[in-house]
Chains A and B, each alone.
Chain A
Amino acid sequence: MQTNQLLAMFSGVLLLLGLIAFFMGRAKAARVRARGTTMYAQPDQYAWFAVVATAGPAITVSAIGAFLMLLLGADIPTFYLLASSLAIAAVGLVAGINQVRPDFHARQAIEQVIRWILAGAAVISILTTFGILISIVGEALRFFQMHSFWDFITGTVWNPGASFLAAAGRGGEGGSAAQFGSVPLFAGTFMITAIAMLVAIPVGLLAAIYMAEFAPSRVRTLAKPTLEVLAGIPTVVYGFFAAITVAPLIVDVAGFFGLDASFNNAVAPGVVMGIMIIPFISSLSDDVISAVPDSMRQGSLALGMTKGETIRDVVIPAALPGIISASLLAVSRALGETMIVVMAAGMRPNLTANPLEDMTTVTVRIVAALTGDLEFESAETLSAFALGLVLFAITLSLNLVSVLMIRRFREKYRVNNL
């Protein structure tokens, strides 16, 4: 029989057993109660306990069996595994019905099971992080066995070139050896991030100052969601906008000043990314500035400072940890942004300080390495995971610093809604 047929039969039988457990458990509990004995729980609760006793162990056993087969490659025939699970279900059924006694706390037992199921769901988020870490570190280690870590960090030439030949056992045929120096990629990434920040931080911060300090409340309630729209637009749309509309515009403007710009210049994705990030900075900064206690403003105004001076010399310094935290989050966002740079930045690793030239980024190379028709084992494919590892490390530390900053702010002013 096919595996899915077996599975269908397994779930069918299990469902049947569960139904039997439910009705038998309820009937027995009702019978006991009808005799006038006081019980700790309602008949339905005994019934549910019987169901849990039937299905729980059986599903656990089959899941463990499936995991053993997948992870350790243990060879357990599916039929026997499922059959034994069903046997366990039958035993559980009998035991569950047997537990329907007046002195048994069925409700508390169910409560315990539910608590464990909920805790299990909560663990999934941790497993996700571990999954990311393990998948990236594992593949990155395999990459670093082929190419030295030091060359990867300090090399200035990224030329995967003929690495796929080496993977096919034909190394040395295809001319020059592959080089994986990631410096040009990170230079490109930081260049585009810097341009994005040049746009996003001034505009976002000033917009936040206006919304928190100057704007009438009507403007504020309207402006905040409008700015959020900028963050809700899919990045692939921004990428198209950058490539089709902004990049030619920048080439024209550069041409007007007698400069020569590439159509894949770094300015277009940088500026568009900056626009996308404005709400990240403005929203959080707005919250932080609003959370600065009014007594500080009153004190400053009472000393005769103007409104502008109060904002510049009192409010902003007080809110600085929060603002820095918002900016760090924005930087981390910009570093990991993919679609805008894939569509609007170049493919050529290029170590240059001129933002009008084409340059490529880490995320672009990750996408390029994993969408080609290459063997998974090739060094170029694995290099994507090495790049991902560095990206993960950088964004993780930025996020952690940002969280620490905002926590310090929160403790200083005792605000809880940040």
Chain B
Amino acid sequence: MRHSFDDISAQLRSRHRRSSRMKWISMGALGLAGLFLLLFFADMLNKGLPAFQQAQIQVEIDYNEDAQRMGRAALDPEVSRLVSRTFERLIPVRMRDNPDLLGTTETRWVLADSEVDQYLKGNRNKLSDAQQATVDALVEQGRLDLTFNTNFFTSGDSKMPEAAGILSAAVGTVMTLLVTLAIAFPIGVMTAVYLEEFAPDNRFTQIIEININNLAAIPSILFGLLGLAIFINFFGVPRSTPLIGGMTLALMTLPVIIIATRTALRSVPDSIRHAAFGVGCSRWQVVRDHVLPLAMPGIMTGSIIGLAQAMGETAPLIIVGMVAFIPDAGGSFTEAATVLPAQIFTWAGEPERAFVEKTAGGILVLLAILIFLNATAVILRKKFERRW
């Protein structure tokens, strides 16, 4: 069969069209992934940024006899509904601690109820029409305002959305990660040093290697089952504490640190080792004085990335009980604690509308820390990267 040149060039054109169509489609796929990312961040910012603002209300507190028993009596009944119940509960406590207050009055800014807060932000709320009118009037007089929500960073969890903060979860996260780092970093680096510098290439070494790659791919929830069955039930480590959480996360972070350290060790050129052996160093002296210092930036980068991963992990921590309600930041490794992702999970399960905002606010804080950690790792790598 014969084709004219016109046919053939038409065929060629369509083939090239198909080729460029493939380019555009694949470009579109990449764009779609980028679009997802953009949408996600926009949605989180949109939902979470209001959490950094909180309604404050200026009230007159009249420390009278009734207020000793019921805090609400100290406030003007018209505004008492608009004030946070956590503040009202504190009035009798303060009067007991400080008896001189009785009979005095005081004007100050206090936390408003979350419904007022939601109304001011234009969200759905349970305020009645009369209350909404009062709120509008108070805003007009300058006695009710949205201010920066310092409370969100300085207080622990609470059942009242307006009083809930991330402090206790942040402290718990730091303590848990300290345990994780203290366990995973030395063991990870030692394992990597053994596999790269000391181990003979035999069956045992191969098994360890396959095993490490496998551990990196096991679902995280199974590490939680390990923590529950072995650490808690068998060794009797206390539940819900930074200790057990850190131990569980350490096992998860271990493969990340090992793999990163091995890559870093491998990138140190052999000439360094040969020179050190040449002047009479033993193997351990070569590693300690020459190879490890040169590999350190890479090891640090890998560890930071592993730590960032551990920081966002929730599932194994839920299994070992780290979703406790923690109103005050604890200071001990063996007291119940919670971590940021677990706090986000708890808040996400609360029915009040105001908690959606808190959850998204917590997410923004978590993402900011993670971005900071990863950026540090990238900068570290850029700064110390060496081409041999």
Contacts and interface: CB of A to CB of B under 8 A. Distances in A.
Interface stretch (B78-86, B92-100, B121-129, B341-349): B341-349
Candidate in B215, B219, B224, B255 with the most chain A CB atoms within 10 angstroms: B219
Interface size class of B (residues with CB under 8 A): 35 or more
Interface string B7-25: 0000000011011111101
Interface stretch (A49-57, A75-83, A129-137, A147-155): A129-137
A236 interface: yes
B254 interface: yes
A235 B187 contact: no
B102 interface: no
A84 interface: no
Contacts of A244: 47, 348, 356
A338 B221 contact: yes
Contacts of A125: 191, 208, 211-212, 215, 254-255, 258
A72 interface: no
Given A206-B30, A227-B33, A135 B230 contact: yes
Interface stretch (B109-117, B289-297, B366-374): B366-374
Interface stretch (B37-45, B62-70, B137-145, B159-167): B37-45
A224 B388 CA distance: 25
Interface stretch (B192-200, B270-278, B325-333): B192-200
B379 interface: no
A223 B26 CA distance: 13
A327 interface: no
Interface string A336-361: 11110011000000000000000000
B366 A115 contact: no
Nearest to B252: A128
Contacts of B199: 119, 122
Given A124-B254, A214-B27, A363-B219, A108 B282 contact: yes
15 contacts: A108-B282, A118-B190, A121-B186, A125-B191, A131-B226, A204-B29, A214-B27, A230-B33, A235-B313, A308-B21, A343-B345, A363-B315, A366-B225, A370-B319, A385-B225
B217 A207 contact: no
Given A108-B282, A230-B33, A237-B363, A403 B229 contact: no
Contacts of A363: 219, 221, 315
Contact of B29 (A203, A233, A241, A333): A203
Interface string A199-222: 000111111011101110000000
A308 B23 contact: yes
Interface string A230-272: 1011111101110111000000000000000000000000000
Contacts of B230: 131, 134-135
Given A209-B26, A215-B27, A232-B308, 20 more contacts: A115-B198, A119-B198, A121-B190, A125-B212, A126-B211, A206-B26, A211-B30, A215-B30, A227-B30, A227-B34, A237-B367, A240-B359, A241-B44, A275-B40, A308-B23, A335-B219, A336-B222, A338-B219, A371-B323, A391-B219
Contacts of B37: 226, 229-230
B347 to A, nearest CB: 9
A7 interface: no
Q: State the 10 A-B residue pairs at the shortest beta-carbon distance, nearest first.
A: A336-B219, A234-B312, A308-B19, A135-B229, A206-B29, A121-B190, A210-B26, A118-B194, A338-B315, A306-B19
A64 interface: no
B15 A309 contact: yes
Nearest to A211: B30
A399 interface: yes
Given A203-B29, A235-B315, A139 B229 contact: yes
Contacts of B228: 135, 370
B19 A309 contact: yes
Nearest to A238: B40
A107 B222 CA distance: 43
A121 B191 contact: yes
A343 B348 CA distance: 8
Given A139-B229, A244-B356, A234 B314 contact: yes
A396 B23 CA distance: 36
A110 interface: yes
Contact of B190 (A117, A202, A396): A117
A137 B191 CA distance: 27
A196 to B, nearest CB: 13
A371 B219 contact: no
B34 to A, nearest CB: 6
Contacts of A236: 312, 314, 341-342, 344-345, 348
B220 interface: yes
A388 B225 contact: yes
Given A111-B282, A135-B225, A371-B323, A207 B33 contact: yes
Nearest to A399: B217
B218 A210 contact: no
B233 interface: yes
A376 interface: yes
B73 interface: no
